[in-house]
């Protein structure tokens, strides 16, 4: 089972000083900042997924790449751009069209030739055909095909026709990347029908699209139906779906790869599961920067909070937590300092017990990843991109371990 991490240019600055909160004045982001596969050894994923809208944007909407980054990617290719040559050729790069970014449009914004040109010029190892997401899911429609919304059928057929054209152009141009067709549907049998047709077209690697909103039982139902029509040499990829506790079941249904940002974004987007451990997770301790918190900044500008007092509380939080982590401070003093600062920020959520659990456990001391060994307690502080992204990198490391552990357990007998 291979895990691909979707790229969104999330890097960290090795020169960042966690005590002074300063960077090297000589830092050049593209030259000096590091991807997760450069920070962690071994890399916490098997490959990267790069979406065309992230690079090139959409009509009227810019991508996440700067114009300079975009030109360099096309000029140098993905291997050099992501410095993959330093990984000994172990990481693969897959490209897709980011269908969820244009889901509300009537038609995909790219042509087949544009997408093939993107994959070929940039040197991708694999490329996903253009697809259009079906809006809904209703398994009961398997028993009443005439009730399927016309728009759902149109999008499924459009995706299949684009896949056929994509494979024709791929063969005509003798492209070097592996072609991947996309299956969309609204029920188990409609997904199975898509997979059957993609195989008849000639695809032997198929991405299951539009499944991100589905709950696990629905995903399993779809995969079980698809398994009945999948050829022995067909490999399935799950687009944007991650369920580590169900990896064995997915694998039995023919899934050999998937992609997801969940382990990374939970580090700073989730209310609870910010710092992964092998058997659970911890809440990160929120100590926002006085100058970086919009709400606090407004209160200071309005004269409702004294800036010097806020900074004193902020510094005290950091000192107490660092002192406790170093063994010469008390847990109660650290928790009290955080509570006082949180009250000033107007945070009405009482996280005292969660913070106590995090600090008492000292999970960073038990972790073997390069992030935790390098920055220690700073990894559990919810404070700015440099800490938050590193915590996301740590989560990728632990997620990969969780996945391998799940896959190496003895498989249960299939019913």
pLDDT in tens, 21-53: 999 999 988 889 999 999 999 999 999 999 999
Q: Do 63 and 174 share a structural domain?
A: yes
Cis ω for the linkage preceding 46 (within 30 of 0): no
The CATH number for 110's domain is: 3.20.20.105
Question: Of 10, 56, 96, 131, which is the active-site residue?
Answer: 96
Is 96 one of the catalytic residues? yes
Dist CA 152 CA 68 (whole Å): 39
pLDDT in tens, 143-170: 999 999 999 999 999 999 999 999 999 9
Q: Do 322 and 243 share a structural domain?
A: no
Q: Do 330 and 249 share a structural domain?
A: no
Dist CA 357 CA 359 (whole Å): 6
Confidence band, pLDDT 50/70/90 cuts, at residue 291? confident
DSSP classification of residue 25: T
Which phi and psi (to 5°) does residue 128 adopt?
-90, 135
Q: Do 180 and 54 share a structural domain?
A: yes
Is 259 one of the catalytic residues? yes
Contact 3, 30 (CB under 8 A): no
Confidence band, pLDDT 50/70/90 cuts, at residue 274? very high
Domain-embedded: residue 85: yes
Q: Do 251 and 233 share a structural domain?
A: yes
Domain-embedded: residue 395: yes
Using DSSP's 3-state secondary structure scheme, residue 366 falls into helix
pLDDT in tens, 317-373: 999 999 999 999 999 999 999 999 999 888 889 999 999 999 999 999 999 999 999
- Domain end among 260, 287, 317: 260
Burial class (CB in 10 A: 0-12, 13-18, 19+), 179: buried
pTM: 0.94
pLDDT in tens, 129-141: 999 999 899 999 9
Dist CA 223 CA 228 (whole Å): 9
- Domain end among 209, 230, 260: 260
Task: Note the Cα 59 to chain centre separation in Å.
Answer: 24
- Expressed as residue numbers, the domain containing 352 is 268-402
Residue ranges with strand state E in 197-254: 205-208, 235-238
Q: Do 291 and 239 share a structural domain?
A: no
Give the bridge partners for 180, in sequence order. 128
DSSP classification of residue 144: -
Contact 187, 142 (CB under 8 A): yes
- Percentage of the chain beyond pLDDT 70 is 97
Q: Do 327 and 244 share a structural domain?
A: no
Domain-embedded: residue 413: no
Q: Residue 346: left (phi > 0), alpha (psi -120 to 50), or beta?
A: left
Dist CA 45 CA 2 (whole Å): 8
The answer to whether residue 277 scores a pLDDT higher than 90 is yes
Domain-embedded: residue 22: no
Domain-embedded: residue 238: yes
Domain-embedded: residue 10: no
- The residue-averaged pLDDT of 224-232 equals 97
pLDDT in tens, 63-119: 899 999 999 999 999 999 999 876 666 799 999 999 999 999 999 999 999 999 999
- Tell me, what's the pLDDT at 345? 85
Domain-embedded: residue 6: no
Q: Do 250 and 275 share a structural domain?
A: no
Contact 30, 38 (CB under 8 A): no
Query: Number of folded domains in the chain?
Result: 2
Q: Do 250 and 191 share a structural domain?
A: yes
Question: Of 10, 125, 131, 259, which is the active-site residue?
Answer: 259
Contact 263, 395 (CB under 8 A): yes
Residues contacting 199, CB < 8 A, separation 6+: 206, 229, 230, 231, 234
Q: Do 100 and 162 share a structural domain?
A: yes
- Domain end among 233, 260, 287: 260
The answer to whether residue 275 scores a pLDDT higher than 70 is yes
Q: Do 307 and 245 share a structural domain?
A: no
- The residue-averaged pLDDT of 400-415 equals 71
Q: Do 131 and 63 share a structural domain?
A: yes
- Percentage of the chain beyond pLDDT 90 is 87
Mean predicted lDDT score pLDDT of the chain: 94
Domain-embedded: residue 394: yes
- Tell me, what's the pLDDT at 414? 38
């Amino acid at each position: 089972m291979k895990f691909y991490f979707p790229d969104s240019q999330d890097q960290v600055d090795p020169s960042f000083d966690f005590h002074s909160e300063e960077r090297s004045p000589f830092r050049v982001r593209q030259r000096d900042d590091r991807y997760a596969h450069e920070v962690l050894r071994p890399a916490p994923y098997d490959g990267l997924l790069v979406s065309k809208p992230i690079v090139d944007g959409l009509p009227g909407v810019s991508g996440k790449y700067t114009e300079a980054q975009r030109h360099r990617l096309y000029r140098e290719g993905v291997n050099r751009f992501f410095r993959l040559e330093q990984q000994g050729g172990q990481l693969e790069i897959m490209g897709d069209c980011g269908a969820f970014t244009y889901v509300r449009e009537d038609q995909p914004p790219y042509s087949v030739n544009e997408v093939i040109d993107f994959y070929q010029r940039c040197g991708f190892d694999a490329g996903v055909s253009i697809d259009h997401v079906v809006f809904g899911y209703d398994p009961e429609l398997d028993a009443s095909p005439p009730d399927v919304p016309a728009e759902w059928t149109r999008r499924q057929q459009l995706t299949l026709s684009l896949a056929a054209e994509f494979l024709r152009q791929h063969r005509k141009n003798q492209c070097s990347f592996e072609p991947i067709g996309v299956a969309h549907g609204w029920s188990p049998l409609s997904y199975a029908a898509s997979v059957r047709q993609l195989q008849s077209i000639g695809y032997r690697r198929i991405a299951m699209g539009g499944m991100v909103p589905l709950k696990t039982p629905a995903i399993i139902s779809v995969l079980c139906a698809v398994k009945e029509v999948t050829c022995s040499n067909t490999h399935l990829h799950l687009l944007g779906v991650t369920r580590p506790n169900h990896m064995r079941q997915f694998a039995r249904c023919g899934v050999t790869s998937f992609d997801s940002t969940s382990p990374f974004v939970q580090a700073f987007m989730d209310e609870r599961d910010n710092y992964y451990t092998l058997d659970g997770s911890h809440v990160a301790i929120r100590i926002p920067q006085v100058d970086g918190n919009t709400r606090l900044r407004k209160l200071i500008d309005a004269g409702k909070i004294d800036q010097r007092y806020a900074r004193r509380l902020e510094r005290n939080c950091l000192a107490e937590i660092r002192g406790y982590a170093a063994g010469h401070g008390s847990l109660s003093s650290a928790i009290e300092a955080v509570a006082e600062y949180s009250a000033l920020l107007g945070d009405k959520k009482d996280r005292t017990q969660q913070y106590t659990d995090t600090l008492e456990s000292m999970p960073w001391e038990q972790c073997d990843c390069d992030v935790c060994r390098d920055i220690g307690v700073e990894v559990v502080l919810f404070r700015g991109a440099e800490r938050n992204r590193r915590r996301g990198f740590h989560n990728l490391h632990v997620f990969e371990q969780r996945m391998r552990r799940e896959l190496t357990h003895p498989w249960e007998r299939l019913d």
